[in-house]
Copies of this chain bind each other. A is one copy, B any other.
């Protein structure tokens, strides 16, 4: 590493800024993120932060990128902890990892998948490719199952009407899945289910009255159902 001392100190400061920003987001949500508050907690004055980020939006963008990557890292790690040919196990592992990540940092989850922050638009040329990483993990597991001759994808294939194909075309193009578009469809619909269950849970809609401890049995049941439908088990 050809990093000077100054560069290392600088990198550490950037990390500290982002770390404190993450804490604030976890406590109050991304909309309330304030440069002045971060500086205060770091024992600095707020103009000093402009040495590290050109604006508040730049900081938010960096945090979004980190969040996407952190999620994708977790998904990949969970996948790789399962045997390569245990397709059902891998599917379950990444689904659980997805939920675990969201439960551990609900506000960061909201940052990337929730309401866009008012007055802030994430630059798509940055978030686009990074968001694709997580998608690729889901797609990859389905692909591996199909390639190895496991699973039953006939329902999905039957559902692939031309209009559906047309809607999914951007994804199909993006991932180069022209010869197996049904996997794109499956990955998106499964993601929809997973995202919905996780969102409802972390935002408290699965607790009708009090904030009862939710152990995720419903979630695990649904993931099992999902594997069963694809006849992966």
Contact = CB atoms under 8 A, between A and B. Distances in A.
A204 B122 CA distance: 11
Interface in A30-80: 31-32
Contacts of A222: 189, 192
Interface in A189-211: 189, 191-197, 199-200, 203-210
A199 B207 contact: no
B197 A192 contact: yes
Given A31-B31, A225-B159, A192 B200 contact: yes
Contacts of A131: 205, 208
A1 interface: no
A13 interface: no
A125 B205 CA distance: 14
A144 B119 CA distance: 46
Interface of A is mostly: helix
Contacts of A218: 164, 167-168, 185, 188-189
Interface in A93-109: 107
A196 B210 CA distance: 23
Contacts of A189: 193, 197, 218, 221-222, 225
A172 to B, nearest CB: 10
Interface stretch (A2-10, A15-23, A83-91, A110-118): A110-118
A155 interface: yes
Given A29-B118, A115-B29, A167-B218, A195 B200 contact: yes
A117 B119 CA distance: 16
B118 A115 contact: no
B31 A118 contact: yes
Interface in A132-182: 132, 155, 159, 161, 163-164, 166-168, 170-171, 174
B115 A110 contact: yes
Given A189-B222, A189-B225, 15 more contacts: A29-B115, A31-B32, A107-B115, A113-B199, A114-B115, A116-B203, A161-B217, A163-B215, A167-B216, A170-B208, A170-B209, A188-B206, A189-B197, A191-B200, A193-B196
